[in-house]
Amino acid sequence: ALDVVRLDAPGDPRVGYLGGSYAGATGLATASVDPRLDTVASMITWNDLARSLAPDGAGRRSVGPVKSVFGSAFLAAGAVLTGPGGYAVDPARAQGCPNYAQWVCDAASAFTANREPDPGTLAAMRHVSPVDYLDRVDVPVLLTQGQKDSLFSLDEAAATFEALRARGVETSMVWHSWGHNDRKGYPGEFDIKAPDPFTQHEAALVGNWLDRHLKDRDVDPGPAFTYFRDWVPYTGVASPAYVESETFPVGARRTFRLSNGSLAEGDSSNEVWTQTIRGAGASMPTTFGLSNLAAELPVPRVSLPGSAAHWTTPPLTEPIDVVGSPELSIGPTVSGPATVFVTVLDVAPDGARSPIHGLLAPAVLTESGEPVTISLPSIVHRFDRGHRVAVEITATDPSFAGGPGPADVTVSSTDPINQFSLPVVP
> What local confidence, expressed as pLDDT, does residue 85 receive?
59
> What local confidence, expressed as pLDDT, does residue 98 receive?
76
Is 260 within 8 Å of 237 (Cβ atoms)? no
**Tens-digit pLDDT profile for residues 40-78:** 999 999 999 999 998 999 986 667 888 877 766 666 666
pLDDT band, residue 334 (cuts 50/70/90): very high
- Which residues make Cβ contacts (< 8 Å) with residue 138, sequence separation at least 6? 31, 169
> What local confidence, expressed as pLDDT, does residue 105 receive?
82
Strand partners, 42: 19, 143
> What local confidence, expressed as pLDDT, does residue 96 receive?
75
pLDDT at 335 over 80: yes
pLDDT at 14 over 90: no
> What local confidence, expressed as pLDDT, does residue 62 receive?
66
pLDDT band, residue 82 (cuts 50/70/90): low
**Tens-digit pLDDT profile for residues 248-298:** 999 999 999 999 999 999 776 678 999 999 988 777 777 877 666 666 777
**Tens-digit pLDDT profile for residues 290-325:** 666 666 777 778 888 889 999 999 999 999 999 999
Tell me what the pLDDT averaged over the chain comes to: 90
> Smallest Cα–Cα separation from 126: which of 72, 55, 51, 229?
51
Residue range 408-414: mean pLDDT, rounded: 94
pLDDT at 115 over 90: no
> What local confidence, expressed as pLDDT, does residue 294 receive?
67
Strand partners, 18: 41
Is 156 within 8 Å of 52 (Cβ atoms)? yes
Residue with more model confidence, 193 or 405 = 193
pLDDT band, residue 129 (cuts 50/70/90): very high
Phi first, then psi: give them for residue 372, nearest 5 degrees: -145, 140
> What local confidence, expressed as pLDDT, does residue 97 receive?
80
User: How far from 172 is each of 12, 24, 102, 209, 214, CA to CA, in Å?
Assistant: 25, 15, 35, 9, 16
All domains of the chain in start order, with CATH: 9-46+129-248 (3.40.50.1820), 54-127 (no CATH), 252-425 (2.60.120.260)
pLDDT band, residue 398 (cuts 50/70/90): confident
Residue type, 136: R
- Percent of the chain predicted with pLDDT > 90: 67
Give the SS3 label for residue 253. strand
pLDDT at 114 over 80: no
**Tens-digit pLDDT profile for residues 175-228:** 999 999 998 999 999 999 999 999 999 999 999 999 999 999 999 999 999 999
> What local confidence, expressed as pLDDT, does residue 321 receive?
99
pTM: 0.92
Residue with more model confidence, 114 or 286 = 286
> What local confidence, expressed as pLDDT, does residue 344 receive?
98
> What local confidence, expressed as pLDDT, does residue 5 receive?
77
